[in-house]
Amino acid sequence: MKLKYIAILLILIAPIFLIKSSNISILKSYTELSLKSSNSIIFNNTAYSFNSKFKVNAAAFGYEERVFNFNHSDPEKIVVLNEIPLKVIFKITPDLNPKVYIDEVLIKDLQNISLVKGSYDIEIIQKNYLTYKSQLEIDSYSRELLVPVILVAIEKTILVSSLPRGAFLSLNGGGFIAMPDNLTLNKKTNSLVIQKEGFLTQNLQIDVIDNNPEQRIYTLIPAENKLLIKTSPSSGAVFLDDQYIGLSPIQIKNPMKGRLVVTKYGYKDSSSIINKNDNLINIDLVPDMSLVTFNITPNADILINNKLLKTISNVAQLQKIKHKVTFRADGYRAITRFIEPLTDLFTISESMLTEKQALLNESPPRIKNSIKSDMRLFLPGKVRLGSSKNESRRDINEVIRNVNLSKHFYISENLITDAQFNKFKNIKSPSNLPVNKITWVEAALFCNWLSRRENLKTFYNFNGSSLKSFNSNANGYRLPTEAEWEHVSKHNSKNKLIYSWGADRKITKLIGNIADESTKDFLTNFVADYNDGFDGRSPVGSFKSNQNGIKDLTGNLSEWVNDFYTSDIISSDTVLQNYYGPLFGSKHTIKGSNYKSALPQQLGISYRTYGSGADELVGFRVARWIY
C-alpha cells in the first residue's frame, strides 16, 4: 500500500524536473516595462517553459512594442526596444517663415519634425531679426512637444564718430551725413562709408548680433599724395634725382621737389623739375635721329624695315634704334643687314655680289652632305675626252671630244655605299661597301631624292620611272657627266695620264681594287704580282685618293655616268659647253674599271662601255652644279 502512494507522488512531481528556464537581459531602464509570453511563464525577468523555444512580447511607455523569439540554448537573451519619436512643434512669433536649423541641419518642413529624447542645438534665422539660438532638451516621451519662439526685430543704436572730427558717413548706400551721429541699424549686415578730404575713404561692415547700444570711434588714415608720370610713347625709364624708380606710366607717392629725367631707347632724354603739389606730368619724348648715308655698289634699291627708301642721294633720317636694311639689284644677291645708327652721322658701305659670286663664297672646297658623303669642289676647266689612235690600249669607241666645263661643280669623293643608298629605300644597313646591282634609273631617282632631302632643285624629270628630260638649270644632285669624270681623273697632273697612276701600263704600286693574284683561280685575266687584299667589293676609302682627292676611280666598281651612250665622231674643232651627253638614247655610259678588271684597255681613264640594267660590277657617285 505504501509503495502505491509513492508511485502516485512520483508521477505528479516528474514534470517539475522537465521545466527549462532562461534569464532575460534588460540593458536599459524602460518606463512601465511589460514582458509577456504565449508559450512560457515569465517571472522576475525569467522565462519558464517545457519547450526549448519560447516567445517574449515586450512593451514600454514611449517605445515600440516588439516580439522576440528566443531559444533556451541561446547564450544571450537581450530585450532592446526602439524609441517612438515625438512630434516637435515650433510656435514662432511673429508668424514669419524663418530658416530653422537643428544641429546645423536646415529643416525644410516645419510641420513634420520628429525627435527622440536628447539634446539639440536650435538656430532660427529671419531677415532683419536677431538670430535666435537655444538648446532643446528632451528627456521624456510625450506625443507632442510645443516649443515657443519669440523673434526680436533688429533695432540697434550706435553712436559713431571719427578721429579727427569732421568726417561724413553713408549708411547702407544712403546720402552722406556729418559725424558724429546716432545710427539706428535695422539689418543684420550694414555697410558704412566714411569720407574726409585728405584722408582715405573707409568702406566698413557692421554685423548686428544684439540690440545693445554701442559707441564706435573710427580713426581716419591720411591719404597719400600721388604723382602720375605719363610719357608718349610709354615704357620710358624714369629717374628721380638720379635714382631709377620704374617705367612709365608710373605713380610716385608723396613726392617732394626733385629733378625728373626720362630716358628711352631711340629717344632724347627729357628733364624736368617736379613740385610737391604736382599730381600729373605728361612728357612727349622726342625721337633721336641719325643722318644715315648708304654707299652701295652697284646702285640698288634700299628697303628699311621692308619699306622702299624713296631718295635720290641714298641718304635717310633714321631713328637711333635697330633697323632691318635690305639692298636689292637685278642680277645680284640681295643683302639684309641689321644696323643700329647710334651716332648723329652714320655711313653704311656695301658691295653686292652677283648670285654666282655669292654662291662661290658660300661653297667651301670640301663639304659633307646630308648622307655624310664627302664632296669636292672643282673649278671650271677644259677637258679632252677619249684617246688618240696611236694609244696602244685604246678601244675603238674612245672618240675624242673637247668639252668646256664653265660651271663649278661638286663631286663625291667616294662611291655611294649600301648604307647611303638604303636610306633612299628606307632600309637600315650599316654596310660601307659601294652599292651595286642597281639600274641607271635607280641611281638617277636616288639623286632626285637626295636633292629634295636638301631642298635643292631636281635635275631629272621623271614620269614614274620613265625619264622625260634633264633640267640644266638645276643645282640638285645628278650623276657626273663623262667629261666631269675624266676631268677629276686627269686634272692637276704634271704628267700625261693614260691610267690613274701614269702613262706606263706597268703597275708598280697599290692603285686600287682590281683583278689581282687572288682571282687567278676563277678569272681568265688578272694582274700578275699584284695583290690588293680583296677578291670582291672593297669598303669605300680603302685606297688612296688621286691627285684631286677622289677615290676608287680605278677598280672596286665601274660607274654609271649621266650621259646616254654614243660613239658618234665629233669634229676636233668643236668645243662642247658643259656637255652632259645626248638628250635621248637607249643605253647609258659606264666609266672606270672594277674588281674584275685586269686588261690595260679596261684600266685606262678613257675606257668606256655602256648598259642600262643592274650589274654587280657597276655602282655610282654623285655630282651637282652650285649655280
pLDDT per position as a tens digit, 365-406: 999 999 999 999 999 999 999 999 999 999 999 999 999 999
pLDDT per position as a tens digit, 563-583: 999 998 888 889 999 999 999
pLDDT per position as a tens digit, 37-93: 888 898 888 988 888 898 999 898 888 899 989 898 888 889 998 888 988 998 999
Same CATH topology for 156-219 and 289-357: the answer is: yes
Gap between the Cα atoms of 16 and 37, Å rounded: 19
Could you say which of 3.10.129.10, 1.10.10.10, 3.60.21.10, 2.60.40.1120 is the CATH number of the domain covering 86-150?
2.60.40.1120
With cell 626733385, the residue in question is 258
Report whether the peptide linkage leading into residue 164 is cis, meaning its omega lies within 30 degrees of zero.
yes
* Ramachandran angles phi, psi of 585, nearest 5°: 165, 170
Is the pLDDT assigned to residue 17 strictly greater than 60?
no
Is the pLDDT assigned to residue 5 strictly greater than 70?
no
**Paired residues of 429 in beta bridges:** none
Query: Are 163 and 217 in contact, with CB atoms under 8 Å apart?
Result: yes
Gap between the Cα atoms of 262 and 248, Å rounded: 9
DSSP classification of residue 601? H
Query: Are 378 and 491 in contact, with CB atoms under 8 Å apart?
Result: yes
CA distances from 313 to 38, 317, 346, 578 (A): 130, 12, 14, 43
Q: Strand 270-274: give its sheet, edge to edge.
A: 243-247, 237-240, 258-263, 270-274
- In 3D space, the residue among 560, 584, 589, 550 whose CA is nearest the CA of residue 399 turns out to be 589
Gap between the Cα atoms of 502 and 515, Å rounded: 19
pLDDT at res. 14: 47
Q: In angstroms, how far is CA 431 from the centroid of its own chain?
A: 37
Helix (H), strand (E) at residue 102: strand 99-102
Assigned CATH topology for domain 289-357: Immunoglobulin-like (2.60.40)
CATH number, span 367-625: 3.90.1580.10
Q: Is 405 exposed, middle or buried (0-12, 13-18, 19+ CB in 10 A)?
A: buried
pLDDT at res. 300: 95
pLDDT per position as a tens digit, 453-494: 999 999 999 999 899 999 999 999 999 999 999 999 999 999
Sequence spans of domains, the chain: 2-79, 86-150, 156-219, 226-284, 289-357, 367-625
pLDDT at res. 180: 84
Reported as a pLDDT band with limits 50, 70 and 90, residue 8 is: low
- In 3D space, the residue among 427, 608, 597 whose CA is nearest the CA of residue 511 turns out to be 597
What's the number of CA atoms in the CB half-sphere (13 Å) around residue 24? 27
pLDDT at res. 19: 84
Rounded mean pLDDT, 314-338: 96
Is the pLDDT assigned to residue 126 strictly greater than 60?
yes
Reported as a pLDDT band with limits 50, 70 and 90, residue 6 is: low
CA dihedral 624, 625, 626, 627 (to 10 degrees): -150
Rounded mean pLDDT, 234-259: 90
Superfamily of domain 156-219: PapC, C-terminal domain (2.60.40.2070)
Gap between the Cα atoms of 301 and 108, Å rounded: 85
Reported as a pLDDT band with limits 50, 70 and 90, residue 16 is: low
Reported as a pLDDT band with limits 50, 70 and 90, residue 316 is: very high
- In 3D space, the residue among 472, 459, 354, 452 whose CA is nearest the CA of residue 407 turns out to be 472
Gap between the Cα atoms of 169 and 182, Å rounded: 11
Reported as a pLDDT band with limits 50, 70 and 90, residue 3 is: low
Structure-model confidence comparison of residues 28 and 331, the more confident one: 331
